[in-house]
Chains A and B, each alone.
Chain A
Amino acid sequence: MNVLLRILFVSLLVLAAGSLAQAHPHVWVTMQTELVYAPDGTITGIRHAWSFDDMFSTFATQGLESKEKGKFTRDELAPLAKVNVESLKEFGYFTFATADGKKMELTDPAPGFWLDYKDQVLTLNFLLPFKKPVKAKELKVEIYDPSIFVDFAFAKDKPVQLAGAPKCKLDVVLPREMTFAEGKALSQIPAEEKNTTMAWGAQFASKILVHCP
């Protein structure tokens, strides 16, 4: 009875710990982000280019009409782009920005957003303007899904760019895409050991920090 009790307790503890993971990504986004500055040095908006993983890209384009099989033009994808952008509104475009510690409000995407389809990957391009453009000494932009249904990671190539802010310094870009090798390394950490060397959670909060004089 005591042994049984102990086993049950340990299992329940493990379960409680494990189920707190709350992880469920079904959509992977590889993103390139551009921070857009006005000539006077105010930050005016964030330009996103989000590439979806191939499975979700295939899923999203299922049943869409196209002239050439397996290829979609911008025009053919326009209705889908509209739906994408509209449904992102509910989630605040997964984009959270603060200027000198103050929360920045975003407006709906500027017209002219579009989807393109290349190598079986859909990429959503849109510009999120700030409601009130400001000058900020420190700008922080985080892109993540709090419910981890969508997994965001920066592209290896040109993850973040500053447009029109020559004096500003791009300080921190976290994190990169996790490679399979890294995933494997992570999986080899024993379950009971606290993982300190590979902060997995940082994978979810893709953070941009910009310092301006």
Chain B
Amino acid sequence: MNRLPRLRVLHGLLLLLLLLLLLLVMVDAAMAQPFGLNRGTAPSEVGGFAGWILAKQAEFYRMLSGLIRAAKADGSAAYTLLGISFLYGVFHAAGPGHGKAVISSYLVANNETWRRGIVLSFASAILQAFSAIAIVGVVAALLGATAKVMGDTVRVIEIVSYALILLIGLRLLWVKGRALLQAVGLKERAHAHDHAHEHGHGHHHHHDHDASAWSHGHAPEPSELAGVHWLRRGLTAIVAVGLRPCSGAIIVLVFALAQGLFWIGVASTFVMGLGTAITVAAIATLAVGARELAGRLAKAKPGAGVIILRGLETAAALVIVLFGAALLTGYLASERLMGV
């Protein structure tokens, strides 16, 4: 008879751990530096898996210039270039930036499915490739402007992109935060009632949220956020994340342009975007999986479970707000085009 409560405690602990990990990943994933606080101390040692990712992406990136040069003399080098561009994209996206955190948090907050997560990841990565190509194509190739002009253009785009992230976060926080308060309020009210009523009310309440927590066709309260128009709604997220081009892609494109191989640079950028999309989609899928698991665990805990889920969604929305604010104020540098 002792087993049941113990199991429940275990489940609770697991749920808590899962949420903590999820938050950690979301917060950390896009940070170039932990809120810029480590200025003045040497970066700590990076070993093992992280060091490996780091070494790989640096290695691939540094191979790109040689391959673009080689492609000039020998067309078949272009295939190698595309292969390496793809790998670079995959590994590069594992670092900060590229909207992993925003997309993951968005999916968690909105309780989207993994399929939608993959669509959002790919759409934003492709938009990012387009954005880099458009900037280099127009500013550098057509207008012949300097790197400084390109840098300034990126900065303007950046501000729009970060402001959008902040807006998305605020909107989500408003809706999800209210849902959380409502869930808390409902539970308290249920407690205040007499036993019979509490039972009835509590049961009804539980059932209601049961549906809304992990099915997508439901109607009221945060329904607006997980309903039919998810793609249109997701469009803001796609634009917010995809508008800002990757500095690496811009540098590669300019380099290819200087070698008279702009189109090879364009192809490389798209393949890079594809690689990026795969990594971002994988991470987004993990986040959605964790969210769903948390949902299933929470299902076992009627009243508190709903509050925990709403809490998680609110936290995810808060993460987006913090990101947007930190990026917008320059507190957090996702990437920078230094010195030009």
Contact = CB atoms under 8 A, between A and B. Distances in A.
B336 interface: yes
Interface string B137-171: 00010001111111000000000000000000000
B286 A96 contact: no
Interface stretch (B22-30, B181-189, B231-239): B22-30
Contacts of A200: 45-47, 51, 54-55
Nearest to B64: A55
Nearest to A120: B258
B240 interface: no
Contacts of A27: 338
B53 interface: yes
Nearest to B143: A63
A146 B251 contact: no
A62 B147 contact: yes
Q: Is the interface of B mostly helix, strand, loop or mixed?
A: helix
A24 interface: yes
A195 B333 contact: no
B14 interface: yes
A149 B65 contact: no
Contact of A16 (B24, B40, B41): B24
Nearest to A13: B21
Interface string A177-198: 0101001101101011111100
B289 interface: yes
A59 B52 contact: no
B51 A195 contact: yes
A202 B97 CA distance: 24
Interface stretch (A2-10, A38-46, A129-137, A158-166): A2-10
19 contacts: A12-B290, A18-B49, A19-B96, A21-B95, A55-B64, A55-B255, A62-B258, A64-B146, A84-B340, A88-B338, A146-B42, A148-B32, A148-B43, A149-B333, A183-B56, A195-B47, A196-B47, A200-B51, A201-B44
